[in-house]
Amino acid sequence: QVQLVESGGGLVQAGGSLRLSCAASGRTFSSYALGWFRQAPGKEREFVAAISWGGSSTYYADSVKGRFTVSRDNAKNTVYLQMNSLKPEDTAVYYCAADRTSFRSTNTNDYDYWGQGTQVTVSS
């Protein structure tokens, strides 16, 4: 079993940057592909980015491509989401999730474990 805890959210002006972290418990962190999702008020949870088990492959939603970068440090059991050039429409609760069997899935149902989320607010 994996427990995920996100951190790093906050309030930032448009054009600014934030780095989210997601720390995982357990000794099998490298057995999971990791994904980042977000959910804005009144909207469905949407895929943001994913990274493969070893970190060599990444995948992004078109809306964040070129602005966000996902990375992981398996020695620290942590996955990161570097967010640059933030826009007001990036405002949401951001969640990390772990998927044991697939990589690049944009479907929330494919992920086995979820964190509690961290709020990101981008002011205009």
In order along its 124 residues, the chain shows pLDDT tens digits of 899 999 999 999 999 999 999 999 977 888 999 999 999 999 999 999 999 999 999 999 999 999 999 999 999 999 999 999 999 999 999 999 999 998 889 999 999 999 999 999 999 9
- Whole-number Å distance between alpha carbons of 99 and 124: 34
85 and 122 in contact (C-beta within 8 Å)? no
Confidence (pLDDT) at 30: 87
Residues 6 or more apart whose Cβ sits within 8 Å of residue 95: 6, 36, 37, 38, 39, 45, 114, 115, 116, 117
Confidence (pLDDT) at 1: 83
Confidence (pLDDT) at 10: 98
Task: Residue 82: name the closest of 24, 22, 5 by CA.
Answer: 22
